[in-house]
Structure 1
Amino acid sequence: MKYSCFFILVVAALQSCLLAVNGCPNIVSRSEWGARSPSGSKFMSTPVDYFVVHHTAGASCSDISSCSSVMRGIQNYHMDSNGWWDIGYNFLIGGDGNVYEGRGWDTTGAHAGVAEYNTNSIGVSMMGEFSSSMPTQAALQALDDFVTCAITMGKLVPDVYAVLGHQDVKSTSCPGTLFYLDHVQQMTNYNGPSLEECIQ
């Protein structure tokens, strides 16, 4: 038993080192935030072509405790009210600058509302409502770093990948007007409509 525990600790340490080497922000695992077990899943082949950015349009959070509570609330809503297998997003980002594991890298999400994007994208949602305010600087930095992380982890096609806001693939105000215009559209490899097209 003690050798099994030692092996698990070594694997966890190696994964943490790999994330650090790849420049990934801190990723809070499902077990760490208290996730329920999913009722199902569908494998997603990676690397994918799209990185789709959302906001949750709900409560924001500022530390692991409050963000974990928000995560559990979103998962409960998605599973119990929407009838989904699990929380819809692949990952979420809190105001504390941590990335929270949703469905993870290799599981098809339920975030874009369009099947061809759900099966070929990493859906990342910022916790909070960002129509007229911005995420924290720590959260914005984590978002930018997470794109690099996805590329170096082999989960996002390098060079030709496209960053999109949710509203670029479906009629919605997500990920919030101010955040969308001031940050998402400025991200490297953003491939939605231009600012001029949005204003028209």
Structure 2
Amino acid sequence: MGLTHCFVLVIFLQWSYVKGDCGVVSKSEWDGLNPVHVQYLPRPVDLVIIQHTVTPTCNTDQRCAERVRSIQNYHMETRNFWDIGYNFIVGGNGKVYEGAGWLHVGAHTRGYNNRALGIAFIGNFNNDQVKRSMIDAVKALLNCGVRNGHLTSDYHVVAHRQLANLDSPGRKLYNEIRSWPNWLEDVSSIRN
């Protein structure tokens, strides 16, 4: 194998490692828009903020892709965000959708965007029951994030409501994530 081939292989492997899809539905697969600007997130990240979208749920691949596109349109056209605000979005079909992703700063929690991943569950979990498939998908994403170097092994999971005066991620999802092994009850050590 020539030097050029070796160089190309090394670049591809590095890109694959950093991209680390983790089974995520890519922006191209859900027909998302490219961001108008990006800022890179320092990695590995040690904070994951769980939230909900307070939108209708979705249960099929088609409906979830439509819902994610709708959220991105709202964020970019109405809120003037550079991209969809969440790093990842999970649908009722049990799939995780790429938002800002592992590498880019999102716009999900004022004061924490530059150091945390925001993961949003599609629905209103004050009303909706959280599906086991959604929980399992996010847990698999987080495990993959640790394996691929995107998350520290001792990362913390917190609820959006702990850092902002909101109900997010809703009572039912909040109750669920409080049982996760990386849950951080007392956020005083990470508060801005």
State the Cα deviation string for residues 7-57 of structure 1 (Å, max 9, x = none): 9xxx7xx95xx969xxx4x21000010111211111111101101111101
**1:74-113 correspondence to structure 2 within 5 Å:** 74-113=71-110
CA deviation vs aligned residue, 1:106-127 (integer Å, no higher than 9, x gap): 100100122xx21111111001
What is residue 70 of structure 2 aligned with on the other side? 73
Letter in 2 for 1:169: L
Q: Does 1:60 align with 2:53?
A: no
Q: Distance in 1 between matches of 2:181 and 2:129?
A: 18
Q: Within 2, Cα distance between the matches of 1:143 and 1:75?
A: 20
Q: CA offset at residue 169 of structure 1?
A: 1.1
Following superposition of structure 1 onto structure 2, how do residues 99-178 of structure 1 map, counting pairs within 5 Å?
99-114=96-111, 117-159=112-154, 161-178=155-172
TM-score of the superposition, structure 1-length normalised?
0.81
RMSD: 2.3
Q: CA separation of 1:132/1:31 partners in 2, compared to 1, >3 Å: closer, same or farther?
A: same
Q: Is the 8 A contact 2:130 2:172 kept in 1?
A: no
| Structure 2: 5+ residue stretches without partners | 1-7, 188-192
1:192 and 2:189 correspond: no
**1:81-127 deviations in Å (ceiling 9; x for gaps):** 1011110000111111111000110100100122xx21111111001
TM-score, normalized by length of structure 2? 0.84
Cα pair 1:134 1:178 within 8 Å, conserved? yes
Whole-angstrom CA distance in 2 between matches of 1:59 and 1:192: 29
One-letter amino acid of the structure 1 residue matched with residue 96 of structure 2: V
Instruction: State whether residues 165 and 192 of structure 1, in contact with CA within 8 Å, keep that contact through their aligned partners in structure 2.
Output: no
**C-alpha displacement of 1:189:** 1.3
* SS of alignment partner, residue 145 of structure 1: helix
SS of match in other structure, 2:49: strand
CA distance in 1, matches of 2:179, 2:78: 34
Deviation (angstroms), 1:133: 2.7
Percent identical: 33
Q: Which amino acid aligns with 2:54?
A: A
* CA deviation vs aligned residue, 1:41-83 (integer Å, no higher than 9, x gap): 1111110110111110102111211110001100000011101
Extract unaligned runs of 5+ from structure 1.
1-6, 195-200
- Whether 1:50 aligns to 2:44 is no
Aligned positions, number: 175
Partner Cα distance (2:61, 2:101) in 1 = 18
The Cα of 1:193 is off from its aligned counterpart by: 4.2
